[in-house]
Amino acid sequence: MSCWGCVLAAGCCFSTGAAGSRSVSSSCWGSRGARWCVPGPTGPTGPSFRAMPKLEELQTGLGSTESLQQRHQAWTGIYKDSRCRMETCFDFTRCRRRGRDGFRVYVYPSEKGERLSESYRKILTSIGESRYYTTDPREACLFVLGIDTLDRDQLSGQFVPNLDDRIKGYPLWNEGRNHLIFNLYSGTWPNYTEDLGFNIGQAILAKASINTEHFRPGFDVSIPLFSKEHPLKGGERGWLVRNTVPPRRKYLLMFKGKRYLTGIGSDTRNALHHIHNGKDIVSLTTCRHGKDWEKHKDARCDHDNLEYER
């Protein structure tokens, strides 16, 4: 069989039957290595577009009488958010309004009484003090929420409820296009799911510990997990005394944090002791995490806790 027509960018094609005819035995479509085929009518009139299923129908095997256009819109709507790239989900025209100085960042004003964590307040302060900040949303290329989205653990005191309704109330939200959302924590220990509790749509997600299955390359940003004690600024201006490449530093790698004994992340952090040499590579971890950590403690916990607290 060979394809004689393609009507969808996703790769929908209809196969020919006997030579000289357009009898269709099946309708096939697919993208990125995935391919589905569903039975189609046969006859001299060619394929029936009604044989094309929606994504959920492909999963359940149910038929539908919806039009091809409706199904195509449903598919591209799903694809648009989960497979966003800068060329498909970002409006660059907003960034060209001021020529070379077109990159401006607007921060939505926080509502009166809005609670912001210290970490999120530092992020907004850094943006507000930068040369890219603007108070005029008409000049903005990028938008940052005035609502704290860093901690999406529903058991946390810093969890902000009803984010979907609040964000959709922004007149410039536009399904998240040209918006940047920050997040450090999602889900609850020990599994820490990726569910943020609201739909980010086409917004860029700057997130710590983001799963590779959900990361959109060239669009989302992977950021380090930092504590509220992290300084807003780096102190006094430094001076270059000697230019050595590579730089002479006492430590090549340092890590100090909690060692999860169970759940997601435990395999990675429990393996850090293998690279620790106590000289230029230092890894200090503590097992004291959660209320029942002693139930899961291993042979290294007592030693690790002492080293961590020194």
Q: Are 29 and 12 in contact (CB under 8 A)?
A: yes
Higher-pLDDT residue of 66, 273 = 273
Q: Is residue 65 part of a domain?
A: yes
Verify that 120 and 211 share a domain, yes or no: yes
Whether the bond between 247 and the residue before it is cis, its omega within 30 degrees of 0, is no
Higher-pLDDT residue of 100, 158 = 158
> What is the rounded radius of gyration, in angstroms, for the C-alpha atoms of the chain?
26
Verify that 129 and 212 share a domain, yes or no: yes
The pLDDT assigned to 121 comes to: 95
Q: Where is the domain boundary, 35, 56, 82?
A: 82
| pLDDT tens digit sequence for 130-154 | 999 999 999 999 999 999 999 998 8
pTM over 0.75: no
187 Cβ contact partners less than 8 Å away, ≥ 6 residues apart: 152, 153, 193, 194, 195
The pLDDT assigned to 107 comes to: 97
Beta bridge partners of 283: 255
Q: Is residue 169 part of a domain?
A: yes
124 sits in which H/E element: helix 118-128
State which amino acid sits at residue 68: L
| pLDDT tens digit sequence for 159-210 | 899 999 999 999 999 999 999 999 998 877 666 778 898 999 999 999 998 8
| pLDDT tens digit sequence for 223-278 | 998 888 888 887 777 777 777 777 778 899 988 888 888 876 677 778 888 899 99
Torsion of CA 135, 146, 214, 7, to 10 degrees: -60
Rounded to an integer, what distance in angstroms lies between the CA atom of residue 180 and that of residue 176? 8
Verify that 124 and 176 share a domain, yes or no: yes
Verify that 58 and 97 share a domain, yes or no: no
Verify that 171 and 62 share a domain, yes or no: no
DSSP code per residue over 62-120: ------HHHHHHHHHHHHHHHT--HHHH--GGGGSTTGGG---EEEPPPPTT----HHH
Out of 106-120, 125-139, 209-223, 258-272, pick the least confident. Answer: 258-272
- Say how many domains are in the chain: 3
Q: Is residue 294 part of a domain?
A: yes
Nearest Cα to Cα of residue 47 among 28, 66, 12, 22: 22
Verify that 151 and 132 share a domain, yes or no: yes
Q: What is the largest CA-CA distance in the chain?
A: 83
Verify that 289 and 214 share a domain, yes or no: no
The sign of the CA dihedral 210, 211, 212, 213 is negative
Q: Are 150 and 158 in contact (CB under 8 A)?
A: yes
Domain residue limits at 64: 3-82
